[in-house]
Every structure is written in C-alpha cells, then in structure tokens.
C-alpha cells in the first residue's frame, strides 16, 4: 500500500486530494499544524475524517518535519500547506515567506536527507505570473509576481526545480490557476460571494462588501485539480504543469452569475468604489465596495493554457464557470438553510 503524506490537510485541496488518494487505495497521512484536536470540517463533510491518519507538522519547524518524514517514510509527499491568502501576505509578508518559500525548502531538504526516493508535489500558483508577460500563460511564460505570496511561491517553485535538477529527485511543480468549491475558505472572493448571498437569502445579512470587481481570474473546480496533482506523480519522470481552464471571468461576472443562481434579478449602479449592486425587486443594496478589500498591487487578469497537462497527463477541466458558481451557491444555500433551522453555525461555513 502506497503511503502518501499531504501537508495542508485542513485546507480545501487537502480534503479533496485525501479523498482521491483514499479512492486510489493509498494510506493517507494528513499533516495538520494544530496540536489541539478540534476535528476537520472539510474531511468530515467528505465523510473521510476517520480514514485519514493525522500527524502534527508545522512547515516552520524543521525538527518536526524531520520526525514526521522519518516516522512515515512516505512514497509521495504533496506539499499543499501555505499561508495562501494574498491579502494576508501583504500584512504578514515575513511569515508568509517563511511558510511558503523556506517551508518548501525545509521539506525538500528533509526528504533529500531521509527519503530521497519519495515523489514530491509542490503547490505552485498562477500568482507567480502576476503582471502577466504573455496571454495565455504556459509553463514557459516568464514570471512577474505582484505580492509577497507570489514571490514566496516563486521561490517554492524554483527550489523544487532545483532539487529535481541537483539531486535527481522526483519533484514536480503544479502551477495551478484559481480553483474553487463549496470547501473553499470564506476569505476568498468566490466563497465570500456565495456564502454571502445565501445569508442574504435567508435574511441573516443585508449585503456583501467587496473590493476590485474588475479583476479577472481563470476559475476551475478544485475536485478536478487534485486529480492533476496525483497524475503528475504517476508519470515516468518529474515535470512542471499548468492546470487551468483557459477562460477568464471578472469578479463582477461571478457576482452576476451567483445572484442569478440564487434567483435574484440585479442591476448595477455607479462606478469604481461607488459601484452598487441593487435588487431589482426590492431596490435594496446587495453589494457595496470598500477600499479595505483592494490590494496594494493587483493581479488584473490571469488565464492559463493547460495544453501540456492535456497532452502529457490526459488531464482536462470539465466543470464550466457558470456550473461551478451554481454548485457553490446551491451548497451554501443548503448550509445556511441548515444554520437558520438549527441556529447553529457549524464549521462547514468556514473555519475563520
Ligand atoms: P488553504 O485552504 O488555505 O489550505 C492551506 C492549509 O495550509 C491550511 O489548512 C493551513 O492550516 C495550512 N498551513 C498554513 N500554514 C502552515 C504551516 N506553517 N505549517 C503547516 N500547515 C500550514 O489552501 P488551498 O486552497 O487548499 O490551496 C492548497 C495549496 O495550493 C496552497 O499551497 C495554495 O497556496 C496553493 N494554491 C491554491 C490555489 C487555489 O486556487 N486554491 C491555486 C494555486 C495554488 P490552517 O487550517 O491551520 O490555517
Ligand atoms: O481574490 C478580488 C481580489 O482572494 C481573487 C488563492 O487561492 O488563487 C487565490 O488567490 C480576486 C482578486 O484569490 C474581494 O482583489 C475583490 O483580484 O479569491 P481571491 P486570489 O488572490 O486570486 C491563487 C491562484 C492562489 O494561489 C491563492 O492561494 O478577487 N476581490 N473583492 C476580492 N478578493 C477577496 N478575497 N475579497 C474581496 O472582497
């Protein structure tokens, strides 16, 4: 039985990847940085909480990483742990770099020393393209990160390439564009919108306050993207791959699609920070803008070309943008409906 270790088991991708690896017959170890046993709402929601073996590991602590790798001796390591919120990276740039950049090196160096034949997946990001140098972005597009998060992920990417080339390690970097789901954290814009709409619908909130509506992202469905991660480690040799849908949509389009899925008819008024989204039926303001949610440097548009992954891995995205929005709205309506009925805000709403 293959042993797989997933860092970031508490996150969106950690949960979907654990589910997939269990289906593939792996013994799945999930690394959680917490020492308390507060459960994991995402694993619970997927019904696999009892099937994943939890180990405690923080990417900031080298000796901790060494003990875990020594104990498990994994065949595959998926490094999904990160301070993954771009906005927070501007507030906590040093911590973000320690986790997202040096944390990758701590893990790679440990694997090289203790279990050099373990296959390694690094969760790289389209944020490394930042101020894009060509469109669509491929594995060969030059990088230009626009946040401490993007810069840190770029270090993680290159150190993964470097360990592959220097020590012949099976180390892959997956350059993944935004991928979302009902398991997405509430701080990210997609889930902030779908959860916010569900709360408006159930009368638990009046409106949603957002930042830049014009930025565009290439949004796919997370459950499909973890399949790409797994495929990368099943190839004959290690390589880097872009996973994306090759379609970009604005935050504003996301809002429009989400309200439509929740059966609202909306209209826009004003411009820039004065933009408002109005409920045509009641005249009430549903969305307002606050500069609080603008970033010091924005990534205006990302659009990825997954041709290499299609050709070499046989991977392709299936869920279309409007369907993804629909899946997320429906899931949040169900969760908030439950919350309203029981009066209990359970963790499936998010853990922050
Ligand atoms: P996520 O939901 O934020 O999960 C990341 C997990 O990392 C969190 O559960 C967090 O634990 C854990 N973590 C943070 N700091 C840690 C530390 N010092 N040591 C150990 N664990 C730590 O992120 P995701 O959306 O699943 O993304 C998975 C990975 O892919 C991340 O590396 C992200 O940067 C990258 N990525 C994501 C996307 C996307 O669109 N989702 C796209 C490209 C790349 P706590 O729960 O305890 O905070
Ligand atoms: O922002 C704009 C915001 O925080 C998307 C992470 O998984 O994907 C994610 O990073 C866009 C940005 O994701 C709000 O300015 C407007 O342009 O959902 P997000 P992200 O920054 O793209 C990449 C690939 C990763 O690797 C990251 O780990 O939406 N936006 N108004 C807003 N964003 C947020 N969060 N909140 C708002 O109110």
With a pLDDT cut of 70, the percent of the chain lying above it is 97
- Say whether pLDDT at 94 is over 50: yes
Question: Given this model, what pLDDT does residue 350 score?
Answer: 44
User: Quick check: CB of 152 below 6 Å from ligand 2?
Assistant: no
347 pLDDT band, cuts 50/70/90, is: low
* 269 CA to centre of ligand 2 in angstroms: 23
How confident is residue 102, by pLDDT bands cut at 50, 70 and 90?
very high
Residue 193 has pLDDT above 80, yes or no: yes
| Cα(113)–Cα(52) distance, integer angstroms | 26
Mean pLDDT of 3-8: 98
pLDDT at 224 over 50: yes
Task: Report the nearest atom of ligand 1 relative to the CA of 153.
Answer: 34
Q: Which ligand is in closest contact with the Cα of 83?
A: 1
- Per residue in 207-223, pLDDT (tens digit) is 999 999 999 999 999 99
Pocket test for ligand 2, best of 81, 126, 154, 189 (most atoms within 8 A of CB): 189
Q: Are 40 and 16 in contact (CB under 8 A)?
A: no
Q: Using a 6 Å cutoff on CB, does residue 275 contact ligand 2?
A: no
Query: If you measure from the C-alpha of residue 81 to the centroid of ligand 1, how many angstroms do you get, rounded to a whole number?
Result: 4
Q: What is the pLDDT of residues 138-163, one digit of tens each?
A: 999 999 999 999 999 999 999 999 99
> 248 vs 349, which has greater pLDDT?
248
Protein residue with least CA distance to atom 12, ligand 2 = 215
**Residue 215 CB less than 6 A away from ligand 2:** yes
Give the model's confidence band at 103: pLDDT under 50 very low, under 70 low, under 90 confident, else very high.
Answer: very high
* Residue 295 CB less than 6 A away from ligand 2: yes
Confidence of residue 131 (pLDDT cuts 50, 70, 90): very high
Kindly identify the ligand whose nearest atom is closest to the C-alpha of 225. Answer: 1
The ligand whose atoms approach the alpha carbon of 9 most closely is 1
Residue 36: what pLDDT? 62
Confidence at residue 348, expressed as pLDDT on a 0 to 100 scale:
56
Which has the higher per-residue pLDDT, 2 or 349? Answer: 2
pLDDT tens per residue across span 10-27: 999 999 999 999 999 999
pLDDT digits (tens, 9 = 90+) for 276-325: 999 999 999 999 999 999 999 999 999 999 999 999 999 999 999 999 99
CB distance 173 to ligand 2 below 6 Å: no
Mean of the per-residue pLDDT values of the chain: 96
Q: What's the gap in Å between 84 CA and the centre of ligand 2?
A: 10
pLDDT digits (tens, 9 = 90+) for 229-251: 999 999 999 999 999 999 999 99
Whole-structure pTM value: 0.98
């Amino acid at each position: 039985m293959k042993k797989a270790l997933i860092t970031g088991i508490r996150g969106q991708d950690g949960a979907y990847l654990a589910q997939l690896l269990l289906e593939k017959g792996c013994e799945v170890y999930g690394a959680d940085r917490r020492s308390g046993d507060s459960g994991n709402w995402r694993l619970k929601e997927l019904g696999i909480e009892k099937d994943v073996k939890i180990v405690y590991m923080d990417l900031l602590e080298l000796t901790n990483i060494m003990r875990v790798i020594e104990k498990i001796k994994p065949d595959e390591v998926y490094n999904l742990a990160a301070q993954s919120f771009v906005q927070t990276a501007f507030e906590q740039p040093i911590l973000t770099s320690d986790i997202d950049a040096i944390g990758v090196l701590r893990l790679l160096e440990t694997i090289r020393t203790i279990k050099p034949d373990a296959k390694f997946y690094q969760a790289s990001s389209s944020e490394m393209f930042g101020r894009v140098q060509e469109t669509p972005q491929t594995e060969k597009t030059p990088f230009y990160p626009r946040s401490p998060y993007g810069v840190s992920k770029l270090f993680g990417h290159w150190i993964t390439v470097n360990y592959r080339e220097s020590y012949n390690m099976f180390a892959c970097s997956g350059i993944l564009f935004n991928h979302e789901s009902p398991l997405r954290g509430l701080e990210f814009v997609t889930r902030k919108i779908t959860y916010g709409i569900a709360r408006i619908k159930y009368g638990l909130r009046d409106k949603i306050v957002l930042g830049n509506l014009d930025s565009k992202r290439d949004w796919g469905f997370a459950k499909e993207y973890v399949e790409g991660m797994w495929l990368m480690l099943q190839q004959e040799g290690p390589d880097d791959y872009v996973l994306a849908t090759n379609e970009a949509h604005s935050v504003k389009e996301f809002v429009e699609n989400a309200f439509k899925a929740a059966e609202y008819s909306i209209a826009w008024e004003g411009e820039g920070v004065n933009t408002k989204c109005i409920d045509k039926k009641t005249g009430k303001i549903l969305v307002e803008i606050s500069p609080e949610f603008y970033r010091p440097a924005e990534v205006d548009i990302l659009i990825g070309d997954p041709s290499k992954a299609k050709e070499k891995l046989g991977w392709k995205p299936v869920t279309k943008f409007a369907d993804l929005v629909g899946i997320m709205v429906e899931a949040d309506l169900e969760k908030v409906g439950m919350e309203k009925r029981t009066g209990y805000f359970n963790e499936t709403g998010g853990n922050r």
